[in-house]
Amino acid sequence: MKEDSSGPLPHLLRPEVHWSRATGYLKLGMFKQARAELSGLPNELPWSKQKKSMLLEIFQGLKNWKEMQKIAYELRMEFPQESGWWVMDAYATRRSLSIEQARGILLEALVHNYDDALIRYNLACYACQLGSPGECLDFLKEAVKRDERYKAMALADEDLKGVQAALREMGWSE
């Protein structure tokens, strides 16, 4: 392999090397460099999924909600059974478009991931923010039925301030 003083030529590196470098840059908050390393990864699975996943983190770090939303949408279309992509799409959509549109994404997500606690928890947050405390409490109860950890989270979540007194009255504690 031909090398110069800066090391191996970038196009000759194995995908694992690009991934390792991109991960390191991301951890350091060096988003431009992380994104550049991602360009060295192949566009087929599993690398394409990993690349998009890291792009989500990069765009979130940059607060580039529109680009984050585009990537999350692609991932949820390609992998609808993976609830995290739906949640990421809703997260970015809330910030780039509206909370109502984000809510719609999560309601659609329930069709593909009916028993998912995280989707229900996020729907509770959106309901609370949209002034629907009853709906919020219903979604929270369903989320907690599926995963008890959401009890403590709900009591500390800024999005749920409007129902936290009711949660404490129901006997929820941190």
**DSSP letters of 30-67?**
-HHHHHHHHTTS-SSTTHHHHHHHHHHHHHHHTT-HHH
Whether 7 maps to a domain, the answer reads no
Q: Which residues of the chain have pLDDT under 50?
A: 1-9
State whether 40 and 82 are in the same domain: no
CA distance 118 to 87: 8
State whether 72 and 100 are in the same domain: yes
- Please tell me the predicted confidence (pLDDT) of residue 42: 86
State whether 55 and 69 are in the same domain: no
- Please tell me the predicted confidence (pLDDT) of residue 1: 40
Range of the domain at 97: 63-113
What is the reported pTM? 0.85
State whether 30 and 53 are in the same domain: yes
CA distance 120 to 132: 14
State whether 150 and 174 are in the same domain: yes
* Burial letters 21-58, b for 16+ CB under 10 A, else e: bbeebbeeebbeebbebbebbeeeeebeebbbbbbbbb
**Residue in this structure with the two tokens 């309901």, named with its chain if needed:** 127
State whether 103 and 134 are in the same domain: no
| Residue 54 β-bridge partners | none
- Region of 70 please: left (phi>0), alpha (psi -120 to 50) or beta: alpha
**Residue in this structure with the two tokens 């970015």, named with its chain if needed:** 92
Whether 133 maps to a domain, the answer reads yes
State whether 38 and 87 are in the same domain: no
- Please tell me the predicted confidence (pLDDT) of residue 11: 52
Tally of domains within the chain? 3
